[in-house]
Amino acid sequence: MIELKNITKKYDEFIAVNNLNLSVEKGEIFGFIGPNGAGKTTTIKMMGGILAPTAGTVVIAGVRMDENPEKAKSKIGFIPDRPYLYEKLTGMEFLRFTADLYNVDEKAFFRKAEEKLSLFSLTDWPDELIEAYSHGMKQRLIMAAALIHDPEVIIVDEPTVGLDPAAVKMLKELFKQLAAEGVTIFMSTHTLKVAEDICGRIGIIRKGELIAAGTTEDLKRESHITDADLEQVFLSLTEEG
Ligand SMILES: Nc1ncnc2c1ncn2[C@@H]1O[C@H](COP(=O)(O)OP(=O)(O)O)[C@@H](O)[C@H]1O
Ligand SMILES: [Mg+2]
């Protein structure tokens, strides 16, 4: 459902992502972990069609991002690490704005908006200005907007940063449920526990290179640490030298 073929990104001479190959199957939750500056956000932006790769190809649900970006992007719900909200809009107006970007038709919109507002516990505040929303409500609205067109693929950069434990739990349950319905989820995270709890496979990126990918069990085996938890595996695989 998501395919990265020999993806490289250079910022001038600096290689942020180096010849990365990865494929994520339909209904899979793939976790992307790595130290700060490893290239997670750069990879995710290329996957979402926000940044053009220096070399290589991104294919989403069989559609090449470089050849048909609109079609490829229409299949994606994208949640960036630093989302932008128009604070002078109401929650409902923001959902409408996002739905229009994705060509969700008028009739479907009201049904979907109601469904997403309910899913993210925002039903009582659709007509409040976003600037009056709490931090948590803003985060939930961003999710609601990203899912307004019922995307086949969700790409999300560090979704649990700034969420309280209840919101993290809700998000994990939601992702598991969506994956069970056939949605493909690619998420970067700092929180190894979250990755371990919900991701079928995990990829570890270090200095722009994918150094390991597999189930938690595969990674443990690869790190040659018996009785390791994911944190030890991560530290062992990403340590210098
Ligand atoms: N726009 C940019 N221009 C130059 N260098 C960048 C830019 N964006 C990111 N980088 C560099 O690329 C590397 C990977 O960054 P990033 O993808 O944000 O990593 P991560 O999300 O894993 O923390 C870092 O060394 C970062 O400093
Ligand atoms: Mg990042």
Ligand 1 neighbour 41 (Cβ under 6 A): yes
Q: What count of other Cβ atoms lies within 10 Å of the Cβ of residue 57?
A: 15
CA dist 188 and 14 (Å) reads 22
Phi, psi at 115, each rounded to 5°: -60, -45
Residue 158 CA: which ligand is closest?
Answer: 2
Ligand 1 neighbour 39 (Cβ under 6 A): yes
pLDDT for 240 equals 60
- pTM comes to 0.93
pLDDT bucket at 241, cuts 50 / 70 / 90 = very low
Burial class (CB in 10 A: 0-12, 13-18, 19+), 18: middle
Where do the structural domains in the chain lie, given as residue ranges? 1-75+155-241, 82-150
Residue closest to 121 by CA, chosen among 140, 142, 135: 140
pLDDT, one tens digit per residue, over 113-131 is 999 999 999 999 899 999 9
Q: How far is the CA of 238 from the centre of ligand 1 (A)?
A: 17
Enter the CATH code of domain 1-75+155-241.
Answer: 3.40.50.300
Residue to mutate, 12, 41, 44, 79, ligand 1, most ligand atoms under 8 Å from C-beta: 41
CA-proximal residue: ligand 1, atom 25 (nearest): 37
Which ligand 1 atom is nearest residue 11's CA? 4
CA dist 22 and 210 (Å) reads 9
**The pLDDT of residue 94 is above 90:** yes
pLDDT bucket at 234, cuts 50 / 70 / 90 = confident
CA dist 8 and 58 (Å) reads 11
Ligand 1 neighbour 38 (Cβ under 6 A): yes
185 vs 217, residue with greater confidence: 185
pLDDT bucket at 202, cuts 50 / 70 / 90 = very high
As a whole-number percent, the residues of the chain with pLDDT over 90 amount to 74
